[in-house]
């Protein structure tokens, strides 16, 4: 039976490499559709938790794991020697930037080298990681062909970028259309058929077109967020509330889409993906002025938050040096535990460099995880009236729902609000509240 027939009949076994914020939701949805699945991850602790029916991602409840485990068709492993059991392997791995803000494809490269060791005829490999146009064809395919087998003859590749928005209840894998690109018509047909079981596929002509579409989505957001971040700084200087302005502009039923300012970009996509195109464009002697300017503005936002904090605390006749600061919210966006590229890390770094004592509170992040750049040994402090009174300033970084903002307002000496959680208290702040 060929691959397309196996997918048609749901006899195809799926392998999903990388069981994080992208891979695990994919695994759950395909398992619910009746596919047999091998979940692969080098983190053995994840394998053990999933095998025991536990979740390590806040917005994915353990009941979802126990539900699919009960079907008896899902196996979890850290052993790539089991990859030949899979007919289609979906690869959902990080694609970070290195210290020079250049693409780091090491996760994809190392995994491709592992998969090539066990590659068998008839398999298909679909990359889901956001990356520069050409990665699937120029990086992954050649490594897999080192197995001695030829792409398009012995195996196939495709690219289908993730469109995961963690904890978004309005848009899920089932309701978000999925771009599918392949350079081979048969591979494209197989990928379209596969993703059609869980969502609406959007076919494009090539892996490069699919890779480019994902970058365009995130560059669009990055540029518009930068625009509204710049507007915030301008309007703050003029004494105008940017949040009020955005709300008013949003009443226009055409030609306007609201974007909102913040303390800096977070998540694995928007702070990173635009620079993948910037890097690739150099090969073609093309400048990327919009992308780089947007990156400059967004990257500067934690410094703007610091400057507003410095101004506000000086107005109280205090010094920021040795000041006690409470960061409210550490995750990169509200109501999740995802710390990838969170602006909270940069704000903490700046405050530490200026001699501040910094603590944080986040109901979903009990301890700050170590990252490539930051190794903070910090744990979330309880949010009590007694604790809040100890701090010279509280900076709202993430607007989690499960936070008693009224308690903070009543007991904090000074609040720097970067998320407009105190929108009811004056245009640019009221009393102990300063918008930033």
For residues 249 and 373, give the distance between their C-alpha atoms in angstroms, rounded to a whole number.
39
Strand partners, 359: 326
Could you list the active site residues?
A: 269
Residues across the chain: 436
For 133, 203, 387, the CA distances from 277, given in Å and listed in that order, are: 8, 21, 45
For 176, 381, 388, the CA distances from 391, given in Å and listed in that order, are: 43, 12, 6
For residues 96 and 82, give the distance between their C-alpha atoms in angstroms, rounded to a whole number.
27
* pLDDT for residue 423: 83
Under a CB-based contact definition with an 8 Å cutoff, are residues 171 and 242 in contact? no
Low-confidence residues of the chain: pLDDT under 50: 426-428
> Cβ–Cβ contacts within 10 Å for residue 402, how many?
10
In three-state secondary structure terms, 29 is helix
**What residues have CB less than 8 Å from 254, skipping those under 6 apart?**
none
All structural domains of the chain: 3-207 (3.40.50.720), 219-435 (3.40.50.720)
**What residues have CB less than 8 Å from 231, skipping those under 6 apart?**
242, 245, 261
* Block residue for tokens 């890097």: 279
* pLDDT for residue 322: 93
Burial of 83 (0-12, 13-18, 19+ CB in 10 A): buried
For residues 343 and 395, give the distance between their C-alpha atoms in angstroms, rounded to a whole number.
12
For 309, 393, 415, 417, 422, the CA distances from 313, given in Å and listed in that order, are: 6, 8, 10, 14, 18
For residues 347 and 329, give the distance between their C-alpha atoms in angstroms, rounded to a whole number.
12
DSSP letter, residue 12: P
DSSP letter, residue 92: -
* pLDDT for residue 425: 53
Under a CB-based contact definition with an 8 Å cutoff, are residues 59 and 23 in contact? no
* pLDDT for residue 99: 80
Under a CB-based contact definition with an 8 Å cutoff, are residues 180 and 201 in contact? yes
For residues 120 and 22, give the distance between their C-alpha atoms in angstroms, rounded to a whole number.
25
* pLDDT for residue 427: 46
* Block residue for tokens 């850290």: 78
For residues 287 and 334, give the distance between their C-alpha atoms in angstroms, rounded to a whole number.
35
* pLDDT for residue 408: 96
Per-residue pLDDT tens for 113-140?
Answer: 999 999 999 999 999 999 999 999 999 9
For residues 116 and 355, give the distance between their C-alpha atoms in angstroms, rounded to a whole number.
51
**What residues have CB less than 8 Å from 147, skipping those under 6 apart?**
116, 117, 119
Burial of 65 (0-12, 13-18, 19+ CB in 10 A): buried
Taking Cα atoms as reference points, which of 133, 130, 90 lies closest to residue 111?
Answer: 90
Strand partners, 38: 15, 75
């Amino acid at each position: 039976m060929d691959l397309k027939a196996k997918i048609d009949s749901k006899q195809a076994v799926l392998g999903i490499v990388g069981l994080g914020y992208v891979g695990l939701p994919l695994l759950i949805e395909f398992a619910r559709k009746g596919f047999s699945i091998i979940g692969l991850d080098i983190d053995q602790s994840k394998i053990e938790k999933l095998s025991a029916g536990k979740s390590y991602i806040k917005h994915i409840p353990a009941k979802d794991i126990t539900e699919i485990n009960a079907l008896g068709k899902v196996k979890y492993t850290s052993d790539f020697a089991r990859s030949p059991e899979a007919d289609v392997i979906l690869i959902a791995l990080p694609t970070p930037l290195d210290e020079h803000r250049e693409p780091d494809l090491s996760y994809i490269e190392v995994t491709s080298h592992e998969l090539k060791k066990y590659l068998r005829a008839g398999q298909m490999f679909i990359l889901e990681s956001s990356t520069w146009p050409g990665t699937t064809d120029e990086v992954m395919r050649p490594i897999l062909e080192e197995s001695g087998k030829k792409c398009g003859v012995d195996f196939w590749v495709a690219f289908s970028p993730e469109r995961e928005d963690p904890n978004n209840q309005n848009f899920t894998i089932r309701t978000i259309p999925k771009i599918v690109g392949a350079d081979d018509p048969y591979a494209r047909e197989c990928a379209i058929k596969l993703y059609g079981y869980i969502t609406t596929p959007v076919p494009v002509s090539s892996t490069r077109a699919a890779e480019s579409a994902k970058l365009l989505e995130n560059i669009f957001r990055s540029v518009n967020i930068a625009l509204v971040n710049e507007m915030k700084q301008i309007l703050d200087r003029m004494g105008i509330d940017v949040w009020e302005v955005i709300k008013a502009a949003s009443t226009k039923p055409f030609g306007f889409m609201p974007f909102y300012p913040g303390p800096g970009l977070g998540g694995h996509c928007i702070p990173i993906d635009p620079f993948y195109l910037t890097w690739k464009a150099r090969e073609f002697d093309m400048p990327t002025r919009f992308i780089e300017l947007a990156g400059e503005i967004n990257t500067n936002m934690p410094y703007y938050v610091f400057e507003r904090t410095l101004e506000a605390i000086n107005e109280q006749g205090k010094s920021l040096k040795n000041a006690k600061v409470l960061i409210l919210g550490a995750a990169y966006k509200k109501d999740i535990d995802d710390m990838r590229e969170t602006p909270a890390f940069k704000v903490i770094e700046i405050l530490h460099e200026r001699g501040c004592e910094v603590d944080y509170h986040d109901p979903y992040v009990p301890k700050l995880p170590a990252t490539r750049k930051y190794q903070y040994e910090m744990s979330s402090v309880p949010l009590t009236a007694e604790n809040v009174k100890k701090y010279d300033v509280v900076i709202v970084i993430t607007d989690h729902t499960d936070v008693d903002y009224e308690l903070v307002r009543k007991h904090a000496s000074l609040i720097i609000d970067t998320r407009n959680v105190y929108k009811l208290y004056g245009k640019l702040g009221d009393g102990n509240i300063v918008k930033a």
